[in-house]
Amino acid sequence: MSTDTDTEAETEGAEADADGDAREETTQNLTLVQAVRDALHTEMRRDDDVIVLGEDVGRNGGVFRATEGLFDEFGEDRVIDTPLAESGIVGTSIGMAAYGLRPVPEIQFSGFMYPAFDQLVSHAARFRTRSRGRFTVPMTVRAPYGGGIRAPEHHSESKEAFYVHEAGLKVVVPSTPYDTKGLLAAAIRDPDPVVFLEPKLIYRAFRGAVPEEEYTLPLGEAAVRREGADVTVVTYGAMTRPTMEAAENLVEEGYDPEVVDLRTLSPMDRETLVASFEKTGRAVVVHEAPRTGGLAGEITATLQEEALLYQEAPVVRVTGYDVPYPLYALEDYYLPSVTRVEEGIREALEFTA
């Protein structure tokens, strides 16, 4: 578990020297997508086996410019423009990984992942078990995901639960630039396949201090973004910002919410969730994916299995709706807003048996 009461706090700790003075020269003020690019640059310089491939990732630098500059530095043998064939991109990456490389395929939008789904669940996720440990698949599949940027449905949906359900896949969703670089580096170095979902709503929404040097953050470890005593609010990805804003707004009303950012969805940091719930007795789960079959259900079950006797109110879910992702006019109504999160937290806090 990582604990910070501010999204910049852990970065400030990493910047401080022995005298407690910030080492400004060792940090950069990056957006989330710039942190992706920095992680890729850093890992490709560190390890010649790291290869980037995908649609338009080379000379064009990717649709969101996440791979900009990689082609010029590392050349066409390590930054490979592919045909528009997601099954081929992921299938080729599996072969590369099984024979010792560390490919980082980019799927242009997470909604385009479905043609590659069979490769992920039938092959990448099973190679270690199928080969009895002889082969692993050190592959990191990157994909921008989530809504809020006024794009059509297949560019905006949140289907992270698909991948969490599959044993053998790790699933990561960062929410800050600092976490993005550290988690992506850890994913690339991991011996098993990782689905790295990048919330594009916050690609350029804000900046944060990111160390220039290489570093990793452990997969499977949540971050407590705000410590509190009254209610546990669990979230991840782009929903972390409205959740934090809602929590701070409710502090002015005399409430004291604790906000837990999962960061890694699989393996999930159940210990941090349970410890927080045992302290507060109440919980709210916020995600933009549809409610039915979403991660909120798994989180709720975990809390009730592990800490039922601490529970003081039903777990509240603030999520997307069980409908196809809407077009522009209704998008703001679909995504959990600060107001909806505040209402969910109040519902949990005001419940009495």
State the CB neighbour count (10 A cutoff) for residue 35: 27
155 catalytic residue (yes or no):
yes
Nearest alpha carbon to residue 152 among 322, 330, 32: 330
HEC per residue, 9-39: HHHHHHHECCCCCECHHHEEEECHHHHHHHH
Which of 255, 233, 230 is CA-nearest to residue 243? 233
Q: At what angle do helices 338-350 and 240-251 cross, to 10 degrees?
A: 50
Helices (H) and strands (E) in the chain, counts: 13, 15
Residue 270's CB: how many other CB atoms inside 10 A?
A: 16
Q: How many angstroms from the chain centroid is the CA of residue 137?
A: 20
List of residues 6+ apart from 333 with CB closer than 8 A: 326
Q: Which of 245, 227, 223, 248 is nearest to 236 (CA)?
A: 223
Q: Catalytic: which of 41, 154, 155, 165?
A: 155
Catalytic residues: 155
